[in-house]
Amino acid sequence: MRFQEALAQPGLAAIAEIKRRSPSAGDLRPDADPGTLAGEFERAGAAAVSVLVDERFAGSVDDLRAVRAAASLPLLAKGFFRDPDELAELKRSGADAVLLLLRDLEDEQAARLMMTARELGIDALVEAHDADELERAITLGADPIGINARDLSTFHIDRNAQLDLVAQATLQQTVTKSERVVVAESGIESRAQAAAAELAGADAVLVGSALMRATDPAAKLRELIERPLVKICGLTREEDVAVAAESGADLAGFILARESPRRAERVLPVPGTMLSVAVFVGERSDAGSDLVQLYERENGHRGRDAVLLRGDEPVAHVLDLPWEQHDPGHHARASAQEGRVVLAGRLAPENVREAIEKVRPWAVDASSQLELSPGIKDHHRIRAFVEAART
């Protein structure tokens, strides 16, 4: 399977990167064995492997050859390439794709290298880090396009700018009815950050430093792409947010609907390992959250289902139980829903595993079953719920 094709498969794909050091962070894993790591990443679910072949990252083309001998996944060669002859050598050494940095290339150079890659039968991941470079990549017909959160001049990470560019690239595809793979690169350290890129429209994430720093790189990779996500909703206190974060929850829900007994005064701060979700019924306002969960209002209370929004863009279906009712067909209905499903409705540590096995949702959402009283969470049950969802 080609590199681009591997990233275009359903769900969020991961490119696991092998690099011994970084100019911004120094040594990461000086004794890394590329072949061993590549085999572990393949077994952990990586869609492709990226190999730094530049000496500034303590890499070489020999590392690419070692990875090619150890893994069958598509391989991306990363470096600072300007010469078509370099691409030919990388192809001979096992590369299925090469990175082209628009920061360092004029359009004519980039076009020539993209043509060379096509003639060699390999893909070119064309990288942009600002709006001008994204427009250049689109004009050049690049596929896939990488959106780097790191400014290579300052090494500053700006995830919000990256997500906006990912969304812009996705919107452009909708307008032109074209299809291309979009990759979010750099700065992804948690499952929630990977999910944020996914919801913005990224088909894949490229992760390097977080894996190289991890005690077990393959386990870290599995963690980043694991589904379902876990949402703890009805949070009203900072101490409950902290326990949810420490337990490994990915989404923190704050109900801002006026009629809810779990109404929070505001969206509380969350750590980088979580995304905040403001929950509204009927009408919404700007609450400063990462996402919005919006229910219709019916007969003075919330409707059955909601939509999860990133800005104004629907990104998932929240499938819930009817207000204060049960539905024996709830799981069957949810499993038949296309797209991302956030499964809600009286989920608890005792039943979440069964629900996951029946529905295979993108996320699970619990609130009332994790409480001592409305809006006051039972810390033991939060921990038990997250653990059961992850088992």
The residues annotated as belonging to the active site are 17, 19, 78, 127, 148, 185-186
* Burial zone of 102 (CB within 10 Å; 0-12 exposed, 13-18 middle, 19+ buried): buried
Q: At what angle do helices 61-70 and 34-44 cross, to 10 degrees?
A: 50
Pairing of strands 26-27, 21-22: antiparallel
What whole-number distance in Å separates Cα of residue 34 and Cα of residue 212? Answer: 11
- Which is nearest to 340 in space by CA: 365, 321, 322, 323? 365
CA–CA distances in Å: residue 386 to residues 11, 194, 249, 365: 22, 18, 6, 10
The total of other beta-carbon atoms located within 10 Å of residue 172's CB is 16
The residues near 74 (Cβ < 8 Å, ≥ 6 apart) are: 1, 2, 3, 6, 47, 48, 49, 96, 97
The residues near 376 (Cβ < 8 Å, ≥ 6 apart) are: 236, 237, 240
Q: Are 254 and 278 in contact (CB under 8 A)?
A: yes
Where do we find the tokens 């949402």?
A: 231
What whole-number distance in Å separates Cα of residue 180 and Cα of residue 105? Answer: 21
- Which is nearest to 123 in space by CA: 63, 176, 50, 187? 50
CA–CA distances in Å: residue 270 to residues 253, 343, 363: 10, 22, 18
CA–CA distances in Å: residue 209 to residues 33, 52, 186, 285: 15, 12, 8, 37
